[in-house]
Amino acid sequence: MSVALVFSVLDYAGIFFFAATGGILSARKQLDPFGAAVIGAVTGMGGGTLRDIVLGSLPVYWVQAPEYLAIAAAGGLIGYYGSELVRGEVGARRVAMIWADAIGLSVFCVIGAQAGLDAGAHWSIALLTGVMSAAFGGLIRDVILNDVPLILRAEIYALAALFGAGLYVLCVAAGLGEGMSAIAGALGAFTIRGCAIRFGWSIPAIGKLD
């Protein structure tokens, strides 16, 4: 599998799964299908849009590639209508949203880091653009729909994205190759985020003041 194909598959998958989380949350908030498509598009493309603005890659990626908008809108609608299948099960929508979000985060932390390196940025900036790509779309989604952003909750979230982006950058520096490095970074981020979801991993808070 070529490097270009690996990144294309990861990019499309990340947008779709992130957009699906927007659709699922839109169903929970009782929005209409148009609202779900809009929230899906914002969620799926928000992180990458901010990344391109920061890196000076203008116009942003989806302006010249409208298929991204189509994938994001479709993901939002599929998440919206698909969540109806589990509406009667307590917490099922939230579980589906969290795991779809974990997939999107795992993919976009690598895509963002790769974009940073390709732009000639320092590796530390590549880590930042990786976390930014992974977290910003979900942050916008949650703020618009008046939900507590996942990135601000106790479970490890941004650190999983940072780990995946860091693993990608490290593997590239070690000469592993961009394609294998991307897969390794995405799997690493998903493992950390998945364990945080499954076992409640979190960074200890300072606690309440007296």
Place 90 in a pLDDT band, splitting at 50, 70 and 90.
low
Place 150 in a pLDDT band, splitting at 50, 70 and 90.
confident
Please state the pTM of the whole predicted model: 0.91
Per-residue pLDDT of 44-88, as tens digits, reads 999 999 999 999 999 999 999 999 999 999 999 999 999 887 666
Task: Locate the domains of the chain by residue range.
Answer: 3-199
CA dist 124 → 33, 120, 129, 162 (Å):
40, 11, 9, 10
Look at residues 191, 7, 3 and name the one whose alpha carbon lies nearest to residue 113.
Answer: 7
Averaged pLDDT for residues 91-108: 92
CB 35 within 8 A of CB 23: no
Averaged pLDDT for residues 18-36: 94
Interhelix angle for 92-118 vs 3-28, to 10°?
A: 140
Averaged pLDDT for residues 33-46: 96
Q: Which pLDDT score, from 0 to 100, does residue 4 have?
A: 85
Per-residue pLDDT of 126-149, as tens digits, reads 999 999 999 999 999 999 999 888
